[in-house]
Amino acid sequence: MKPSLRFFLAGFLLLILQTGLCYGIKWIALSRTPLALALNQTQHCKQLEGLVVSQVQLCRSNLELMQTIIQAAREVIKTCRKTFSDMRWNCSSIELAPNYLLDLERGTRESAFVYALSAAAISHTIARACTTGDLPGCSCGPIPGETPGPGYRWGGCADNLNYGLIMGSKFSDAPMKMKKSGSQANKLMHLHNSEVGRQVLKASLEMKCKCHGVSGSCSIKTCWKGLQELQDIALDLKTKYLSATKVVHRPMATRKYLVPKDIDIRPVKETELIYLQSSPDFCMKNEKVGSHGTQDR
């Protein structure tokens, strides 16, 4: 084999290994689902864009969830665009779902953010839908076990975070658990970043209260546990995006693990976003990598 052909094949194989195929976030294409589609029969699941086989199966067995998941896809796009509106990479390529460009096809820090945000968004939207009564399969979240302080009492309708996490992770993680979903390194990266998104979501659960009393005296406060807005969660994830850690897939003992490239004496932290490939230069216009450049912006 000629050396030039050997180098070409080696580079081609490396590109395949480093391309994540983005199965895990193709479901964001649900944002374009026509409002007229009723989604009241299981055969409608095949008409939905961006789903892998296991997600179609989840759709059929949880049909009542799908309008909420479609709403989550719309929230991901809206929130990502707003969060990065002041950055060189402005998340515009997310609107191309399911046919992403290289900024999201490869294991970049941009894809790390989108995976984390989409995992948080789907669980957030489901948890809120339980609270508003839009989902027949769930209700308000449980009353906290701890006793509130003087002048406080538990009441209202808490966001059902537990149900949101269970159903959201089943749907959003399903593509990464398929056999044919890119390299093992990309699977590990995407699953890790998705879990970081859910960790930030869990940390956003806070006590919210409503006052009661004569003439607005607020002598009694009725409180419940509610999630912060998705935009606030996205800002926390943006901070993690800015300090994300580049990793490599390295053998340790009998298995391979993702470890920090420059500081490989420590394991990856559960709280940090990670990426495998450096991002392109978003200052220069390059439509192949999702960069519109910064001229006239």
User: Residue 263: what pLDDT?
Assistant: 67
pLDDT of residue 259: 86
Domain ranges of the chain: 8-142+158-197+231-292
pLDDT at residue 7 in the model: 44
How many whole angstroms separate alpha carbon 293 and alpha carbon 297? Answer: 8
At residue 296, the pLDDT reads 46
Whether the bond between 98 and the residue before it is cis, its omega within 30 degrees of 0, is yes
Task: Calculate the alpha carbon distances from 154 to 140, 215, 216 in Å.
Answer: 13, 22, 19
Sorted by sequence, the CB contacts under 8 Å of residue 240 that are 6+ apart come out as 113, 116, 196, 200, 271, 272, 273
Residue 168 pLDDT:
98
pLDDT at 182: 67
Tell me the two tokens of residue 279. Answer: 């991002």
> Could you list the pLDDT tens digit for every one of the 297 residues in the chain?
555 545 444 443 444 434 445 678 999 999 999 887 878 888 999 999 999 999 999 999 999 999 999 999 999 999 999 999 999 999 999 999 999 999 999 999 999 999 999 999 999 999 999 999 999 999 999 998 888 888 889 999 999 999 999 999 999 999 999 876 568 899 999 999 999 999 999 999 999 999 987 766 788 899 999 999 999 999 999 999 999 999 998 877 667 788 888 765 678 899 999 999 999 887 666 555 544 555 544
Integer angstrom CA distances of residue 155 from 72, 140, 202, 208, 268: 27, 10, 20, 10, 40
